Amino acid sequence: MNKWFRKSLVILFSIATFGLVTPPASLAVQDKPSEDSVSKSSINDDSIEQILPPKVEIEELPLSKDQVLINLLSEAEQKSFIKFGDKIGGVIEDEFKEMIFPKMEEIITYYLNVEDDELFQQLEVSKPSGGTGEKIFHIYNTITGEDVLRFHVRRENRPLEGYWFNFHYHTYHDSFQSHKDLGSIYWDKNTPPNWMSYH
């Protein structure tokens, strides 16, 4: 007997007897489930996992020296402009990009190429300091927490000339003692605003 026809009879029988009499057992018996329904209903999470290939955990490959260098240089430039803020950055941006930053790139590239291959993976660029502090950024080892390169800018008030920004760097090779010049950019006769100043 058709499934829908049997269900209809059960409903009619229930209505006619106001649900007081149970429909005959012959109407309640269901057809044997088809093979398709058996195979579908018997599939559970375990059997799905057996069908699917095992999950492959993708191990993060270490960055190449070139990738680390690109990341460091990009971050170094960003941190420099964060340091300047737009009040100073808007005035010295072009000279910084033409004169100072190429020298910074040279130094960072040289450092990365001469250092131990295991160390370069752990290098990061620190945040700049605001106010009148000199720190543009430091490149440091994230495992030891120790600086390897320090890039600074000092304000100089030269008599009869006005204010200049002197860019320089220090390395860990001499415990950051010597002051290695990168160049200077003229500001104005007036006192420059604080670093990280915005309009």
pLDDT digits (tens, 9 = 90+) for 98-157: 999 999 999 999 988 887 666 777 899 999 999 999 999 999 999 999 999 999 999 999
d(CA 141, CA 128): 16
Strand partners, 123: 141
Q: Which pLDDT belongs to residue 129?
A: 96
d(CA 96, CA 129): 18
Q: Which pLDDT belongs to residue 100?
A: 98
Query: What residue spans define the domains of the chain?
Result: 3-51, 66-188
Across the chain, mean pLDDT equals 82
pTM flag (> 0.85): no
Strand partners, 163: 157, 188
Q: Which pLDDT belongs to residue 12?
A: 66
pLDDT over 50 (residue 195): yes
Q: Which pLDDT belongs to residue 38?
A: 47
Mean pLDDT for the stretch of residues 180-198: 96
